[in-house]
Chains A and B, each alone.
Chain A
Amino acid sequence: MMTTSTLYDSLVKIVGKDFVSDQKEERYFYARDGGLMPPHEPDFVVMPKTTEEVQKTVKLANREKVPIVPVGAGLALTGLVIPQKAGIVLDMKRMDKILEVNEKARYVVVEAGVTQGALKSHLQKHHPHLRHSIPDAPPIATIVANAVIHGQGRLSQQHGFNSDMVSGLEVVLPTGELCRIGSCSVSSYWFSKGAPLPDLSGLFLGWFGTTGIITKLGLKLYPCKKMRDVMVFLTDKAELVPDIMLRLSHTEMIEDVVVSAAPLPLRFRGTFWVMAYITGDSDEELEFKRKMVWDSLWQDFESRDVGFLSISPDMKPPLMSMPSKDTTRFADVSKGGGFQYAGPITPIEKFPAFISKLEEVAAKYSVFYASTTRLIGAGHCMMFSFSFSFNRANADEMARAKKALDECSKFALEEGGVLWKADIYEQKLLMDRMDPNTLVLMKKIKELLDPNGIMNPGNWEVG
């Protein structure tokens, strides 16, 4: 087995001296994320530029049985890229090329470090009639990491999880081989991640980097209309929200449906904001869609259960922005630089119970809360966030926020939800409930692909 200094020299030979660090400062920063999981330092931080460099690094790690953790921007907040067993953190953000936009087949192929912001900007400048599903995460979040955690975005109401929009993968397997997944495995086109072939993308999506390192990804693009607007409806009846979401979705004219709830400002406490985003290529199209949205909720207006919020000009830009800076600002509500959320994926009928639980838990642990719900698919499920902000300088508040999150996660599981981007403890909760044969299958897959257990160890570890 190599010594630490020999390993360092070997890594330098692969990526160059400027892009390997074993210094305390980098190890400190990459040991943690903005959430509440305990830190753990890597031995090295490495920044590859090419697929070949990733392959060489993985082969080295596999030979020396050194853990390796691929990292995007580290924004999952649940510690998914904290190197639980040290080793190498592979910061992928130098692999930042947008390789191809196929306008006719509506997909893009990106390297693993391309950020949401860079793709948005590239499409706006060079392909303004195309767009991708932008999540609410900050723009430094990478396309690949968002797909790997089954993220959602502005087009999830229409097209499902952002990982459903993947149209092909290039993966470095834990033993170093390079593998293509989907149509790109038999063709030069990246239009499908599976069909009509066996869909092998499931071996990598949702696995948090424990089965391989994605180096390229194809992503479906969608028509980008010239105009966009948001309509905001208010109700104080949580029990109506699932039906409102369903009726909005029934119009098949909505870009995105988001429901938010927060105790501040006081005038909105106890009120749910249902935001329906619409798009159009003309005033006529937009007006028609507005009318359809109105019609879909008319009965609620008549019963006075739902109201329409007329949005002032200064309120609209924050609501329309992609990504939403307001989501990030929640981290400073406690003037303390932290927030984390449990975001179970769950049937939308659970909205009233989840809101009630959120308020109960926030009061119990005396933590500041907010919630954002996003409709996924045509009402097939929703992501409901139990969000708590905390002050990083206040250990007690952090502990209370963690307890609140844990209680919400357990509640969500009991209610039939499935935890999204579960941390290592939540993964165990999920696996405790999982069909035993499913667990066996996961274990077999993991052992087959990663015989030395080097890939992001600690995550999805089936006992």
Chain B
Amino acid sequence: MQKYVSQIHRCFRCGYCKFPADYSSFNCPSYRRFRFDSYSTGGRLWLIYAWLRGEIDWSEHLAEILYTCTTCKNCTEQCPMKFAPDIVDWIVGARSDMVEKGKIPARVARFFEAVYGYGNPFKQLRSDRAAWANGAKRYAQGDEYLLYVGCLGSYDENGQKMARCLVDILKASGVSFGILGEQEECCGNEIYMLGETGLFQNLAEKNSLKFKELSVGKVITLCPHGYNTMKNLYPASGGNFKVYHYTQVLNDLIKKNKIEPARARARVTYHDPCFLGRHNNIYDEPRRILQAIPGIELVEMERNRKDAFCCGGGSGNFVTDLLAGSADSPARVRAREAYETGADTLAVACPSCLTMLTDAVKAENLDDRLAVRDVSQILKDLSPAR
């Protein structure tokens, strides 16, 4: 990760990172929110380089600029340079340096403290981690899947609804699975992206070990953030299991006719979560699920798939909320974009996006015209299982 120190000067501040592929609007969530060039990827990289060289001192403002990046990876998609795949690592590397020096925004520090102390960023009791589960079965050897719901699925009201819907669908479809309940730990994706590499390592090793002890071979994650970290980061920490995002599993169940959705009547637009889409190239499965529901008309927002506009929740911002407080906050911009499609339902596949966009739709006074629903919620409401 520390190779950023010798590479970060390579940014030319050309500004491609601000755009989607068709240049129609600004697609960097923090640049769209704040509009100073310092909040674009190029701005950040130049400021980090200046900080490394001692041309500028650390400040709260510098740290906020760094931490308003949601690591959505739009810059990686659009940057024309060969180093493009490394940009997020560079940002994470600089954050890691700030963490080591103890120089981070207060809200980020509180995020870490909560995970240190409570195992989740919401300061909720560990003993309440399974309160959402409504009697869902605990994982036992022999179960095909471990369902990992993560911190949002465990404690956030919207995430809990999402988790319960998924459990109901999986049960009704005859899938063999169980949850960890109170034994579940934070996946560490946000911890990693925020630069607390020591804590991340601890979480990744602990989870990997637990999965090994329980002989877990396959994990379904509710959250794309968990999917990302388990798929891409855990293998280096001893993680040796297959991981699926729940939309992959549901899509497979539909293909095998284990779920047969009832007829609906809705015009739906789908928001690609960054950690499912740009980070892991999963674009089709959620759409196939929605398209399998008779009577649903799927309409695309102008910015979709690789060009999807981030809701602003990544890198812990669903808690730290450094991008909030404005009509230009990414979630509100995205809510307006969804509404402009003429859809009555905004479908998501991520508990972080679900919360961010639900709040945004309310802030935009669109809540009586645009429902924000997770794919599993949409499917469950319409699916008498076989």
Contacts and interface: CB of A to CB of B under 8 A. Distances in A.
Interface in A109-156: 115-118, 120-122, 124-125, 138-140
A30 B61 contact: no
B1 to A, nearest CB: 19
A335 B61 contact: no
A95 B83 CA distance: 32
A47 interface: yes
A328 B23 contact: no
The residue among B9, B34, B61 with the most chain A CB atoms within 10 A of its own CB is B9
Given A336-B9, A337-B11, A24 B36 contact: no
A30 B47 CA distance: 11
B16 A121 contact: no
A139 B19 contact: yes
Contacts of A74: 13, 37
B37 A118 contact: no
B81 interface: yes
B173 interface: no
A331 B34 CA distance: 27
Interface string A85-98: 00000010110000
Interface stretch (A2-10, A15-23, A187-195, A217-225): A15-23
The residue among A21, A25, A26, A335 with the most chain B CB atoms within 10 A of its own CB is A25
A91 B37 contact: yes
B13 A118 contact: no
B35 A94 contact: yes
Contacts of B265: none
A139 B25 CA distance: 11
Contacts of A138: 14-16
The residue among A47, A94, A339 with the most chain B CB atoms within 10 A of its own CB is A47
B46 interface: yes
Contacts of B11: 337
A30 B24 contact: no
A28 interface: yes
Nearest to A121: B24
A391 B9 CA distance: 8
Interface in B1-58: 6, 9-16, 18-19, 22-25, 34-38, 43, 46-47, 49-50, 55-57
Contacts of A21: 36
B101 interface: no
B50 A34 contact: no
B9 A393 contact: yes
Contacts of A45: 36
The residue among A29, A139, A391 with the most chain B CB atoms within 10 A of its own CB is A29
A140 B19 contact: yes
A329 B10 contact: no
Contact of A73 (B15, B36, B59, B82): B15
Nearest to A331: B12
A332 B81 contact: yes
A403 interface: no
A392 interface: yes
B308 interface: no
Nearest to B53: A393
A228 interface: no
Given A25-B47, A26-B38, A329-B80, A336 B19 contact: no
A24 B62 CA distance: 9
A195 to B, nearest CB: 32
Interface in A277-327: 325
A336 B55 contact: no
B9 A139 contact: no
Contacts of B57: 24
Contacts of B16: 138-140, 325, 328
A338 interface: yes
Interface in B128-146: none
A115 B35 CA distance: 14
- Which secondary structure dominates where chain B touches chain A? loop
Given A121-B24, A392-B9, A140 B46 contact: no
Q: Give the size range of B's interface with the partner.
A: 35 or more
Contacts of A93: 35
Nearest to B34: A18
B3 to A, nearest CB: 12
A23 B59 CA distance: 10
Nearest to B49: A392
A120 B11 CA distance: 25
B23 A18 contact: no
A94 B65 CA distance: 19
A138 B18 CA distance: 11
Contacts of B326: 18
A120 B22 CA distance: 8
A440 to B, nearest CB: 38
Contacts of A34: 12-14
The residue among B18, B38, B81 with the most chain A CB atoms within 10 A of its own CB is B38
Nearest to A24: B56
Contacts of B24: 117-118, 121-122, 125
A28 B23 contact: no
B37 A29 contact: yes
Contacts of B25: 118
Contacts of A94: 35
Contacts of A75: 14-15
B36 A47 contact: yes
A30 B36 CA distance: 9
Contact of B81 (A73, A139, A329, A391): A329
Given A24-B59, A25-B61, A337-B10, A140 B82 contact: no
Contacts of A116: 23
A183 to B, nearest CB: 29
Contacts of B61: 23-25
A19 B50 contact: no
Contacts of A28: 38, 46-47, 50, 55-56
A394 B50 CA distance: 14
A118 B15 CA distance: 13
Contacts of B35: 19, 47, 91, 93-94
Contacts of A91: 35-37
B23 A139 contact: yes
A139 B15 contact: yes
Contacts of A117: 19, 23-24
B216 to A, nearest CB: 43
27 contacts: A18-B34, A19-B35, A21-B36, A23-B61, A24-B56, A24-B59, A24-B62, A26-B36, A26-B38, A29-B38, A30-B37, A74-B37, A75-B14, A91-B35, A91-B36, A93-B35, A115-B23, A117-B23, A125-B24, A138-B14, A139-B19, A140-B18, A328-B12, A336-B10, A337-B9, A337-B13, A392-B49
Given A124-B22, A337-B10, 14 more contacts: A25-B38, A28-B47, A28-B56, A29-B36, A33-B13, A45-B36, A74-B37, A117-B19, A118-B24, A139-B23, A140-B14, A140-B16, A328-B12, A337-B11
Interface of B: 6, 9-16, 18-19, 22-25, 34-38, 43, 46-47, 49-50, 55-57, 59, 61-62, 65, 80-83, 326
**CB-based closest 6 A-B pairs:** A117-B23, A140-B15, A331-B12, A121-B24, A325-B80, A138-B14
